[in-house]
Amino acid sequence: MEFNWNSYPRPFVALAPMAGVTDASYRQLIKKIAPETIVYTEFLSTDAIHYGARKTMGMLSFDKEIEFPFIVQVFGKDPEHFLSAAKVIEEMGASGIDINMGCPAAKVVSSCHGSALIKNADLAKRLVEATKKHVSIPVSVKTRLGWDCIDNLVPFCQGLVDNGADALAIHGRTYEGKFGGEADWEPIYELKKNISVPVIGNGDIYTAEDAVDKLGNLDGVMAGRGTFGNPWLMKDICDALIHGKEPGEPTVKTMSFEEKIPFILNHCELAVEVKGQKRGMFEMRRHLASYVKGIDGASEKRALLVRVESVDEVRSILTA
């Protein structure tokens, strides 16, 4: 199946790439709940892909039937490694490649990756050019409003487009803003007026009403942290933006906890299927803690769930 940012139905509804969260099990759960969602991998090192690192190559696995369109997000700073990684990603059948130019984590930025590229526009453009050079699948970029101000957002993004970027996703904070304060979408709307490719807005999408209110002149919205413990958020957004339903009470609030349990167990089963029993259940613990937030006896259940080693244990704890 081919994917193209220009021909794919709009508005786009995308699940933001999140390290340690958007693995295959989470993406597949989201796609079962909201099939129209565009999903991204966790950000993966182009250096690791270039050298065929086993762990990273395993993180590239996906289900072509369930996860389409499937975007692989990458980070790095070596144009040659971007070129070779792009070839690998295309050969694996991914729908597109996204370059991370927005991660504010200190370890990432200190290596001249992620948000650090905002300060190095020439290298940023070379990375887009190298990625596009030998692949036919689309190449997009996810970035922020700027390093410490928004003044260079339009010229920075225009340079990316001039070198081949097919779409842009913009988080409504600067690097210095990290994840604090309120996301500012106004500069993203202004960017859209000055750019020729699709633009997706990201930041502080916690309800379908947020998505409707923030869409404005953009081509789509991207939700991330709002899905923690609430994968149904993506269905609410799709219903509102794609199917035209009036945003109402969030699904997560209208469902009883008993109704959520089959989805939670399915997430666990997918995690075990994708990563094996030990690792799959270990990585599910953070999700399980989010799923029980706010319910009666949450603290007691959380204390048990952060030690679970099997799906049966989860079932027993949730149904007790």
Largest Cα–Cα distance of the chain, in whole Å? 58
Rg of the chain on CA atoms, in Å: 19
Q: How far is CA 313 from the centre of its chain?
A: 29
103 is catalytic: yes
| Number of neighbours of residue 242 by Cβ within 10 angstroms | 17
Contacts 24+ apart (CB under 8 A), 237-244: 237/13, 237/34, 237/205, 237/208, 237/211, 238/13, 238/34, 238/36, 238/37, 239/208, 240/208, 240/209, 240/211, 240/212, 241/11, 241/13, 241/208, 241/211, 241/212, 241/215, 242/9, 242/11, 242/13, 242/36
The active-site residue out of 103, 157, 238, 268 is 103
Report whether 172 contacts 188 (CB < 8 A).
yes
- Rounded Cα gap, residues 64 and 118, in angstroms: 33
Q: Residue 100: is it exposed, middle or buried by C-beta count within 10 angstroms (0-12/13-18/19+)? A: buried
Which residues are known catalytic residues? Answer: 103
